[in-house]
Amino acid sequence: MSSAPKKRKLSIAVGDKVDALWPADGEYYPAKVRAINEDGTIALDYADGDRRNDATTSELRCKKPLLEAPTTPEAPPSEPSEPSPINPDDALRLSYAPDTTSHRETEYEAIRRFFAERLEQRRGGSLYVCGAPGTGKTLHVERARAHVLGSIPTRDAKACFLRGTAFASGDAFLRAVAKGVCSSSVLQGDPERGELLLRLKETCDAGTKTNPVLRVVVVDEIDSLLKCGGEALRKVYGLATRETSTLALVGVANAIDVPRRAFFGDIPRNSEEASRHGTVVFRPYEHKQLVDIVKQRVGEGVFAAPALEFVARKVAAHSGDARRALDACRAALLSARRHGEHPVSMARAAEAIRESGGATHGPLAAVASLPHHAHVALRAALDLSTNADRSFTRSALATAYSRLQPQLGRRGDCAGAADDSVALLESAGLVGAAPDRRSKALKARNP
């Protein structure tokens, strides 16, 4: 007589981290449970700043173990199962946020210290976080904010996250600031801009309060406000610069080449306020850092070392954008699965880079992105391409390669390394197969 299967249910509590469905695209993204409503639906804060108030348990994937229904005393205890590692495909998605990140310790600490000092002093200030796309700016700002302010009661600190692209006017931005960090009375009566600014100033003024509330406004893509709400943004910055202000403004922007004052105005130098205003710059990732980031997500053995090195060098030479590297690696992984390959080979990596447009940024960028052994092969190819049609055989390339790279030892090693290098050179558009003898001959291309 078979026993009925055990019923399993999700145990959800406020503060739990989950993967939650976003109905607009049918994908699951990291989120945190903000509240459980009276009707049983769940209010969520997504990691990217979006919110939702009507999720159901069927739309959640809880990150903590499922609780089993109680069993009878006679039931034997079950062996604890090891948590299964995350699927590499899921780990390479941009929506996946690992618990820890590398190569951003200095930048994270500067942002965390800004929040901590503002909370300790209960005084406002401003922080401008800038850098190239895909360098981790928003992720680390939100992590630092959550680390310092996440467990602080609202009577001590209030914070809101805004996206600059969401506003069509400066007035809309001002209202979002007031709604995010002030009481509803500030917006009562639908005040005009001048009146609203006056109310914001009064609310964010520490005055003689013994324990004022810190009010933190984080604005992602703040550069998009320049066209429609630049004056309103500078007004908010003006509130944050006041000596008795409790308003802290954090702006995140890709525009590393645009002066900070274009967003916030001039910083008062040689004054007490100057210590409360700072800038943190996120530099593009180098290729070794991109390799570490991918390995941190998928572990060892998923990618052949030359394949991962190739993707990282290509992306680092063009932009240093970690999101682009993750996209290319995921495309290569999916292609390798379709071809039944493991680990992901150089051919799949080169294919993913070509499809993403990574090989079309000029010969200098292409050469700069190549690893050392491909540089040796390129030198050998140039030495061989002295005849009229600039062609040579793979065998001749392997021989020339072995002369330039004697430390490889056996000729078979040189032939394998030469073949690997040829794949790199072809994907970079530096050599190509000769049209009449495709399987045997190569032709060097003029840059």
Could you tell me the pLDDT band of residue 436, with boundaries at 50, 70 and 90? Answer: very low
**Rounded Cα gap, residues 427 and 370, in angstroms:** 10
Residue 103 has pLDDT above 70, yes or no: yes
Percent of the chain residues topping a pLDDT of 90: 29
Number of residues that make up the chain:
447
Picking from 343, 349, 351, the residue whose alpha carbon sits closest to that of residue 329 is: 349
Residue 258 has pLDDT above 60, yes or no: no
Residue 390 has pLDDT above 80, yes or no: no
Residue 181 backbone phi and psi in degrees, to 5: -125, 5
pTM of the model: 0.62
pLDDT greater at residue 143 or residue 423: 143
Could you tell me the pLDDT band of residue 405, with boundaries at 50, 70 and 90? Answer: low
Buried b (16+ CB within 10 A) or exposed e, 235-244: bbbbbbbbee
Residue 106 has pLDDT above 60, yes or no: yes
pLDDT greater at residue 384 or residue 17: 17
Average pLDDT score over residue span 254-277? 60
Q: For residue 214, what are the β-bridge partners?
A: 157
| 51-76: pLDDT as tens digits | 788 888 888 876 544 333 334 344 44
Could you tell me the pLDDT band of residue 311, with boundaries at 50, 70 and 90? Answer: very high
pLDDT for the residue 266 = 59
pLDDT for the residue 413 = 47
**Rounded Cα gap, residues 116 and 276, in angstroms:** 12
pLDDT for the residue 82 = 40
Structure tokens at 152: 């602080």
Residue 217 has pLDDT above 60, yes or no: yes
**Rounded Cα gap, residues 413 and 408, in angstroms:** 6
Average pLDDT score over residue span 152-172? 88
Could you tell me the pLDDT band of residue 19, with boundaries at 50, 70 and 90? Answer: confident
Could you tell me the pLDDT band of residue 249, with boundaries at 50, 70 and 90? Answer: very high
| 350-368: pLDDT as tens digits | 999 888 765 444 455 556 5
Tokens 């959550």 locate to 146
Q: HSE on the CB side for 162, CA within 13 Å?
A: 28
Helices (H) and strands (E) in the chain, counts: 15, 15
Picking from 396, 136, 403, 407, the residue whose alpha carbon sits closest to that of residue 280 is: 136
Residue 115 has pLDDT above 90, yes or no: yes
Structure tokens at 28: 């699951």
Residue 27 has pLDDT above 60, yes or no: yes
Residue 415 has pLDDT above 90, yes or no: no
State the chain's maximal CA–CA distance in angstroms: 87
Mean pLDDT of the chain: 77
pLDDT for the residue 133 = 86
pLDDT for the residue 145 = 93
pLDDT for the residue 360 = 42
Answer yes or no: are the C-beta atoms of 68 and 275 closer than 8 Å: no
pLDDT greater at residue 276 or residue 149: 149
pLDDT for the residue 206 = 82
